[in-house]
Amino acid sequence: MKQVCRVCMHQCNLNPGQTGICKARKNEEGKIVCVSYGQITSMALDPIEKKPLRLFRPGSLILSVGSFGCNLRCPFCQNYEISMASMQQSEGNVILKGRADTVCVSCRELADKALEYRTSGNIGVAFTYNEPLVGWEYVRDTARLVRDAGMVNVMVTNGTASCEVLDELLPYIDAMNIDLKAFCRESYRELGGDLDTVKRFIVRAAEECHVELTTLIVPGMNDDVGEMEEEAGWIASVEDKAGRKIPLHVTRFYPRYHMTDRQATDVRQVYRLAETAGRYLEHVFVGNC
């Protein structure tokens, strides 16, 4: 029978055997399951600043892992090879269209790997590269083990998931970087998302853990000073509610994926928008310039 996946705003109504928009969740025999569970496409020991997180454990390293799938369709995606991939089965192996095989890593194996790298300066695990929320069960189950081992968990996410999913993760997540891709409902609709969903997610997350936000400045989409004033003003209002100072990363777009016909963002505009945000926020950082 059909089942509705309630992870995000798409509420995909799936027939048996059908996969959702994210390509990571599927109706199997009348039950919504995460087909990306434990399937790792990328793993690296990264500086925490690369997430980007500037005010959470600065100078440290974190084991960063990614799977496949995403519930948005950003034409400027930086990791489209895995975020837009779908899974195929071949003689028991998982294969992603257009990419090498995944590696199956259990929650325990990943937690043990994080501990193994502790001597190299690793502080925990960052769930990143693709959208971790489409495989939130794996994030939760692994993060619980990482926390039990005395290490930290970081999530880099687009924030387009229900607060019910977020509440499952918050007890184990120490810090997040959340993409606030624009501050215009129409722009979010064009990306396949919903601004109000992201705003609710940010407010809830900021109540429980360290949150930093990132806005990639894409020419013609979100590079208007007026829109940045609205965005920064809203973030400042969240700070008041959460009692915390939320950092904003204003980053430069480079041609990528379906936007290779567009020029990189003018550096002067990036700094202009960062200066605008700085009138409202205490911590504003510029990236990719």
CATH entry, 3-287, from 3.20.20.70, 3.30.1360.100, 3.90.850.10, 3.40.1710.10: 3.20.20.70
Q: What is the pLDDT of residue 82?
A: 83
pTM value is: 0.93
What pLDDT sits at residue 26?
95
pLDDT of residue 241: 67
DSSP one-letter string for the chain? --EE--SSTT--EE-TT-B-TTSSEEEETTEEEETTTTEESEEEEEEGGGTT-SSSSTT-EEEEEE-S--S---TT-TTHHHHT--EEEETTEEEETTSPPPEE--HHHHHHHHHHGGGGTEEEEEE-SS-GGGGHHHHHHHHHHHHHTT-EEEEEE---S-HHHHHHHTTT--EEEEE---S-HHHHHHTT--HHHHHHHHHHHHHHSEEEEEEEE-TTTS--HHHHHHHHHHHHHHHHHHTS---EEEEE----TT-TTSPPPPHHHHHHHHHHHHTT-S-EEEE--
Domain extents for the chain?
A: 3-287
Give the pLDDT of residue 96: 55
**Averaged pLDDT in 10-residue chunks for the chain of 289 residues:** 94 95 94 95 96 97 96 90 68 49 92 97 97 98 98 98 96 98 97 96 96 97 97 90 84 92 94 97 95
